[in-house]
Amino acid sequence: MVDAEDRDMVAELHGHLEATAELPVTTEASRWLGEAEAVVGDARRDDPPASVVAKRVEQARDLLSHVEATGSDEADEHVDAARDLAERVLERLNDD
């Protein structure tokens, strides 16, 4: 079950990914980040079950694994925070 804290963490994850869209990042990083943002956005729609949220967050984590550097220190910080949040969300959802 996805509780309020899980939803807040997914929203924060989405916020970090969304923030990278406003920053000057490399073309390759932009592609991966945009896809990860879209996938996490799907996890926020229509109160999906925990299994769907976990799948989308796992997909986003996998997409983020392709981002080595963005070309922007600020974007790199958002990517690091997004990776950390993705891991934390997955730990919480997999404990249920």
Locate the domains of the chain by residue range: 4-95
In whole angstroms, what is the distance from residue 66 CA to residue 88 CA?
A: 19
Q: Which of 27, 89, 42 is nearest to 61 (CA)?
A: 89
* Mean pLDDT of the 80-94 span: 97
- What six digits make up the tokens of 50? 């925990």
pTM of the entire predicted model: 0.94
Residue 51: how many CB atoms within 10 A of its CB? 11
pLDDT at site 95: 82
Whether 29 has a pLDDT exceeding 90, the answer reads yes
Q: What is the DSSP letter of 66?
A: T
* Mean pLDDT of the 20-40 span: 97
Q: Which of 1, 9, 3 is nearest to 89 (CA)?
A: 9
pLDDT at site 96: 63
pLDDT at site 46: 85
